[in-house]
Amino acid sequence: MSNATVPTDWAYEADDHFAEQFPLSPLDDHLIHQTPDPIRVAATTDPRFFERHWNVFHDSIGEVLVVTGGSFYPNLDTAEAFAIVTHQGIQRSVRAFRRIGANRGNIHVGPIQPTILAGMREWRHELAENGAGIRYDLHWRDTHRQIYRAAYGSLDHGKPAGGQRHVTSGFESFGSVDGWIDIDGKRIELTRGRGTRDRHWGIGRGVGGPRYQPDGKPPKAGWIGGVWIAFSSFAIWGPIVLYPYGDGRKRHGKVRKVHRRLRFEEGTHVFCGGEIDFTLDTGEIKRVRFERIGQQSAYMTCALYGGSPDKTIWQSDYVGDDVVHTDVHDLNDPAVRTALRGLDEHHCLIHCDGETTTGILQPLEPDAYEACVRGDDGWALLGNA
């Protein structure tokens, strides 16, 4: 065997000669192809095709919340990533942009530098120096069984008519996180932290903002929003119930029905508490009470969900080569919450069956408030149910 140096990470193998070898990349030397095309070539020419990782990390007392993620848009050759840290109601955000290039395995974008240590088991998330004054080094371990699933839109009601169906596919999990977070020189140790994540890919409804919408209007970031809560005996990830590795229950369960009774702030109409009944496929009804912890939230317009706060940048936009944006928002100011509201992730105390822990509720705001006022099916103001 040769003593020549062997790269230890195939994600970083591409040299400058790959510019003359397009569309080949180092990944094409690995025995992993699923179609006749090179790995860099997506199976669809839809510009909204995306690959994405999304992660939420939090402590158990409501001191610090971290939300981070990144997306590749292969048909546009653009990559973006974000990191949000909220501490004592101050939200600090970093957004980074670049071209994808030949290194499809390199998911670093500017200072946002996640590394997959073991696929579907362990990640390392690093945030390097940046203008927002935040850094972190966090080690994530999955604890719950991931199961592939795909949610397809309707051919009958898709827009434009006859276009490819919107689809989000992939997997989700809950897990544990340890490490440190530095905010303006103050280090917070995160031990036995908790969180959730997903790895999704498909045709993104909101990708590209107005320019990829048939009506030319800005797309909403979502409607139903999300809920990510893990108790000792069950864990709900949106419409499914996830089980720990090795659990005797097979694959995953399902949430059959959701009835929300929610409270909102006066004026901002931002969620602050409530209770939700989840009817599971076992027939059980789990009533979970939520209380938002102070202003420990992540306002996801700062991660381009629904466009940037000033609606000038949308997911997949080419902003420039190796560009980094930062901002800081005081969520203790109601005017700031009103300006940023949209798809928002609130760290909450959650209670069910005598157990109390913390989790995340993500409503679309102010749409959730408006649905409760109208009395839409499954939506009500607390006290009016």
Query: 122: buried, middle or exposed (CB in 10 Å: 19+, 13-18, 0-12)?
Result: middle
Q: Which residue has the tokens 């501490």?
A: 87
Torsion of CA 128, 320, 86, 275, to 10 degrees: -130
Q: 272 or 225, which is more confident?
A: 272
Bridge partners, residue 357, by sequence: 350
**234, 241 contact by CB (below 8 A):** yes
Residue 116 CB neighbours (<10 A): 17
> What phi-psi label fits residue 162: left (phi over 0), alpha (psi between -120 and 50 degrees) or beta?
left
For 314-368, the pLDDT digits (tens) are: 999 999 999 999 999 999 999 999 999 999 999 999 999 999 999 999 999 999 9
- Which of 110, 116, 118 shows the shortest CA–CA distance to 135? 110
Closest CA to 35 of 44, 43, 24: 43
Determine how many CB atoms are found less than 10 A away from the CB of residue 277: 15
pTM: 0.92
As a whole number of angstroms, the distance between CA 18 and CA 38 comes to 13
- Model confidence at 2, pLDDT cuts 50, 70, 90, reads very low
> Can you list the positions of beta strands (E) in the chain?
49-58, 64-73, 78-87, 90-99, 112-118, 122-127, 134-142, 149-152, 167-183, 186-203, 226-230, 235-237, 240-242, 253-264, 271-280, 285-299, 323-330, 344-352, 355-362, 379-381
Residue 226's DSSP bridge partners are 362
**Exposure pattern of 357-370 as b/e (b: 16+ CB <10 Å)?**
ebbbbbbbbbbbbe
Question: What confidence tens digit (pLDDT) does each residue in 56-86 have?
Answer: 999 999 999 999 999 999 999 999 999 999 9
Under the banding of pLDDT at 50, 70 and 90, the label for residue 159 is low
Could you give phi then psi for residue 12, rounded to 5 degrees? -120, 25
For residue 283, is pLDDT > 60?
yes
Among 233, 144, 251, 135, residue whose Cα is nearest residue 184:
135
Amino acid letter, residue 357: T
pLDDT value of position 312? 93
Q: Residue 374: helix, strand or coil by DSSP? A: helix
